[in-house]
Amino acid sequence: MDEVAHEAGKDPLDFRRRYLGERDQTLINTLEEKTNWKARGKNDGWGVAITECFKSIVGEAVKVSKGTDGKVKIDKVIAVMDCGWYVNPEYRAGTS
């Protein structure tokens, strides 16, 4: 989907907003907040993905960068999970 957004010349998260529902918009807002999306550098290596799985909606953003040796390395992974109503707050953060 990021490749399609790239072809369309659009921001990957903004591009997805057009095609997703209200609950997904809140997830995208949270993902933008946690990744500090609007302040990211133009050439920062961010990739995102959003899916629905086992009745939860999840969004994930991965940041990669090229080291001085030219090799790609994974810097950070940020996941935002909308699993609805939960029981044990410590358990759910650990399993995700």
Partner 1 sequence: MALGAAVKHATEFEGGKAVQQNFNSYKMPRISDIPEIEVHIMDNDEKPGGVGEPGLPLFAPALCNAIFKVTGKPIRKLPFALEEV
Amino acid found at 32: E
Phi, psi (rounded to 5 degrees) for 22: -65, -40
**Shortest distance in whole angstroms from residue 19 CB to partner 1:** 16
Q: Does 24 bind partner 1 (CB under 8 A)?
A: no
Residue of 73, 12, 19 whose CA lies nearest to 38? 12
Alpha-carbon span 63 to 12, nearest angstrom: 14
**Shortest distance in whole angstroms from residue 2 CB to partner 1:** 4
CB 76 within 8 A of CB 64: no
- Contact positions with partner 1 (CB under 8 A) in 51-90: 51-66, 71-86, 89
Q: Does 2 bind partner 1 (CB under 8 A)?
A: yes
Q: Does 8 bind partner 1 (CB under 8 A)?
A: no
Q: Does 13 bind partner 1 (CB under 8 A)?
A: no
What one-character DSSP code corresponds to residue 58? Answer: E
Residues that bind partner 1 (CB under 8 A): 1-3, 6, 12, 23, 26-27, 30, 34, 43-66, 71-86, 89, 92-93, 95-96
